[in-house]
């Protein structure tokens, strides 16, 4: 069944897009990540213009994070105060990101900027996750290994504007969560991802937040950054395809429910290693595209005065 996408201006197979949404939803439910980092490259792969893929993905992630945060909210796993401080940074970051996005789009460098940031972030985070999870698996097999320090003080904790976050039992500078938010916001705008894979480790290692609150709080603030990104992309770059978002959303929501069930049966380290493998795989594929000779070194864009 073919469906015409009004903003992407192309016709796609609805079942294919639903299936893609379902598959990514399944993985995101299984590993507890947004899955945007997989969806955007997939959309580009089936021929959706990269700019539209990123804008639409932001819209789809609003729905995914709302449904995700509900479960965490019911269990009280959301630190609203910390989330609000993060999202102030996040909205600023989104604004900066959308502005950069527009400039790059006019310069004709948006495609390479998207690919490069994917290769950089996915490669780095995926590599680190891979190391950490394989170490954890080895450590579990040889229980004599030493445990690291629980809490470390680094220069980041000496920043001004200290604030107390009761829910997370933290007394830290407000600049820290806000700064993480800014980076997350930029990523939402340029890469079309929630940025959970970057926010979650940052919140654990930089803020020393209790692990139980991390997922819920990051999802909580992702709702607002993705919503801001959707609005700004729609208003300035006209790159949000509501039709495509709807198809992805339906597939994603259903897939996520099954993914969550399967994910609860897999041990944490193994799930993280699997996720890391996928992340590194995507990064390598994109890096290959960057260096391999293209089909045609000339490209055409029309209608932009």
Partner 1 sequence: MRWPTRRGVVRGVVQGLAALAGLALGVTFAATVWAQQMVADLSSHLIAITTGFTGTEVVLFGATDGVGDVAIIVNGPRLPAIVRRKTRVLGMWMNTDSVRFSQAPSYHSVAASRPLDQIVAKTALERQQIGAPQLQLDPQETLDPQELAAFRAALIRNKQRAGLYGTNVGAVSFLGDRLFRTNIYFPANVPTGLYNVEALLIRDGEVVSAQTTPLVVSKVGFSAEVYDMARHRPITYGVLAVLGAVAAGWAAGAAFRRV
Binding site for partner 1 (CB under 8 A): 2-7, 9-11, 59-60, 62-68, 70-71, 108-109, 111-112, 116, 223, 227, 230-236, 238, 240, 242-243, 245-246, 249, 253, 257, 290-294, 296-305
Please report how close the Cβ of residue 7 comes to partner 1 at its closest, in angstroms. 6
Rank residues 236 and 277 by Cβ distance to partner 1 and give the closer one: 236
- Give Cβ neighbours of residue 297 (< 8 Å, ≥ 6 apart): none
Yes or no: say if 36 and 68 are a contact pair by the CB < 8 Å rule: no
What is the closest distance, in whole angstroms, from the C-beta atom of residue 186 to partner 1 in the complex? 19
**Inter-residue contact 157 to 87 (CB < 8 Å):** no
Closer CB to partner 1, 144 or 301, in the complex: 301
Cβ neighbours, 10 Å, residue 287 = 17
Residues 212 and 147: their CA atoms lie apart, in Å, by 20
Tokens read off for 239: 């790159």
The three state secondary structure string of 150-216 is CCCCCHHHHCCCEEEECCCCEEEECHHHHHHHHHHHHHHHHHCCCCHHHHHHHHHHCCCCCHHHHHH
**Shortest approach of partner 1 to residue 153 CB, angstroms?**
39
Q: Shortest gap between Cβ of 271 and partner 1 (angstroms)?
A: 20
- Of 56 and 168, which CB lies nearer to partner 1 in the complex structure? 56
Q: In terms of CB distance, is 172 or 223 closer to partner 1?
A: 223
Judged by CB, which is closer to partner 1: 86, or 227?
227
């Amino acid at each position: 069944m073919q469906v015409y996408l009004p903003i992407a201006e192309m016709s796609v197979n609805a079942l294919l897009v639903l299936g893609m949404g379902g598959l990514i939803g399944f993985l995101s439910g299984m590993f507890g990540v947004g899955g945007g980092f997989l969806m955007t490259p997939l959309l580009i792969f089936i021929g959706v213009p990269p700019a539209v893929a990123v804008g639409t993905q932001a819209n789809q992630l609003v729905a995914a994070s709302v449904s995700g945060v509900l479960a965490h909210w019911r269990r009280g796993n959301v630190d609203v105060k910390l989330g609000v401080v993060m999202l102030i940074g996040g909205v600023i970051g989104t604004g900066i990101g959308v502005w950069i996005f527009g400039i790059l789009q006019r310069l004709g460098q948006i495609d390479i900027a998207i690919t490069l940031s994917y290769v950089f972030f996915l490669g780095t985070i995926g590599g680190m996750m891979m190391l950490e999870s394989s170490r954890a698996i080895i450590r579990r097999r040889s229980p004599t290994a030493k445990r690291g320090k629980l809490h470390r003080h680094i220069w980041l904790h000496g920043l001004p504007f200290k604030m107390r976050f009761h829910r997370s039992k933290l007394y830290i500078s407000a600049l820290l969560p806000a700064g993480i938010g800014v980076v997350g916001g930029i990523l939402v705008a340029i890469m079309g991802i929630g940025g959970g894979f970057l926010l979650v480790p940052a919140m654990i290692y930089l803020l020393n937040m209790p692990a139980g609150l991390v997922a819920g709080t990051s999802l909580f603030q992702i709702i607002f950054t993705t919503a801001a990104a959707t609005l700004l992309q729609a208003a300035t770059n006209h790159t949000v395809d509501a039709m495509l978002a709807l198809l992805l959303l339906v597939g994603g929501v259903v897939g996520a429910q099954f993914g969550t069930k399967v994910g609860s049966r897999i041990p944490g380290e193994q799930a993280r290693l699997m996720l890391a493998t996928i992340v590194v795989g995507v990064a390598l594929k994109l890096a290959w595209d960057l260096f391999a000779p293209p089909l045609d070194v000339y490209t055409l864009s029309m209608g932009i005065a």
